[in-house]
Amino acid sequence: MWQTVGQDRAVAALQRALAGGRKAHAYLLAGPPQVGKATLARELAQALNCEGADPPCHECTPCRRIAAGIHADVQTVSVEADGDGAVHKDISIDQIREVGRAVSLRAFEGRCRVIIIDPADAMNEAAQNAFLKTLEEPPPGVVFVLITSRPQLLRATVRSRCQRLDLRPLPVAAAAAALVERWGLPEPRAELLARLSRGRLGWALAAQADEEMLRARREALTDIRALPQRSLAERFAYAGDLAGRFGRQREAVLGLLDLWGQWWRDVLLAAAGCQEAVSNVDLADVLRAEAGRYDPRRVAVFLRSLAATRRRLEENVNPRLALEVLLLDLPAPG
């Protein structure tokens, strides 16, 4: 029985394909970060190798070994750390060549070899070219699962050779209910995490397990609230620091920009009297006060600038310049 929560359409499509013996040789799981893509990829690997009557049963030896990450025929390819612990930005051509060698061999302990590439958009151009050759002549008994929150960064020829399944966040109420019913969280905590995650159960569960995530969020929000009152020199210094981090921690910086967007959207919602729709419910009083200090039109301009900056960063423009321009658009308190 499939246990992925809230992705009924994607799960149903996979169930129909496997039941009818029509599995694709490659799947592209696309959606926001921490929405359940990796969970679904693991369940697909279990279903393809399950020995139970209703796969994935989560009880047989292959299912348990895949869940533990020790199944010989299920491999995850991701960015690697070097000897000093620094994480590379790309999945290299050497990693993809190693995948090509692995899939040329028959499955060792299961029926199907599953290669999960996460995140697939981390493959550099050379790696994508090498992977395309494998996709064009897929070996029998092999299924590729590509995971990405940025499918537009994959070559069109790679995307076209995969069956795409889009995963979306749950409605906040559904996410909160799942956190209560399945994971046993108290209702107030479940409501808070469902709103902060905007329906991304993976983020909510990670935050529940690691209080440091919420502490870091509170610190980041303190900076976000203080920036409009800082001088241009201080803003540009902040932009320079953020640009330096972007080279080392790309996803963390993009996540911070998402947090900016969440905060300023909440300010607009509070200004419009839509307090019940805000994400940062634990800071509702602060939001009401902030809403009275800013012109909603300027906030809307900044949100558009923020979205444009995020796109530019994903297109590899100069990060310092993009972030400096963004901070010039910050709304001024009135």
In terms of pLDDT, which residue wins out, 136 or 184? 184
Question: What's the token pair of residue 310?
Answer: 């995020």
Burial state string for 61-74 with b = 16 or more CB within 10 A and e = fewer than 16 = ebbebbbeeebebb
Which pLDDT score is estimated for 45?
97
- In Å, how far from its chain's centre is CA 163? 19
Which pLDDT score is estimated for 299?
95
Matching residue, tokens 């799960």 = 11
Band of pLDDT at residue 81, cut at 50, 70 and 90: low
* Mean local confidence (pLDDT), 308-323: 91
Band of pLDDT at residue 88, cut at 50, 70 and 90: low
Pairwise CA distance, residues 38 & 169, whole Å: 14
Pairwise CA distance, residues 209 & 193, whole Å: 11
pLDDT digits (tens, 9 = 90+) for 189-213: 999 999 999 999 999 999 999 999 9
Pairwise CA distance, residues 228 & 14, whole Å: 48
> Which CATH number is 211-328 given?
1.20.272
Matching residue, tokens 């169930």 = 15
Q: Which amino acid is at 47?
A: A
Is the torsion defined by CA of 67, 249, 33, 280 positive or negative?
Answer: positive
Prior bond of 56 cis (ω within 30°): yes
Which pLDDT score is estimated for 108?
86
Which pLDDT score is estimated for 87?
53
* Cβ 80 vs Cβ 89: under 8 Å: no
For residue 181, pLDDT over 60 is answered with: yes
Question: What's the token pair of residue 127?
Answer: 């790696």
Which pLDDT score is estimated for 35?
94
What are the angstrom distances between the C-alpha of 200 and each of 31, 32, 287?
Answer: 10, 8, 23
Pairwise CA distance, residues 326 & 197, whole Å: 24
SS3 state of residue 184:
coil
- Phi and psi torsions of 29, nearest 5°: -100, 110
For residue 85, pLDDT over 70 is answered with: no
pTM: 0.87
In terms of pLDDT, which residue wins out, 83 or 330? 330
Which pLDDT score is estimated for 170?
95
Band of pLDDT at residue 109, cut at 50, 70 and 90: confident
Q: C-alpha angle with apex 194: 188 to 197, nearest 5 degrees? A: 135
State the CATH class of domain 8-166.
Answer: alpha beta
* Cβ 119 vs Cβ 77: under 8 Å: no
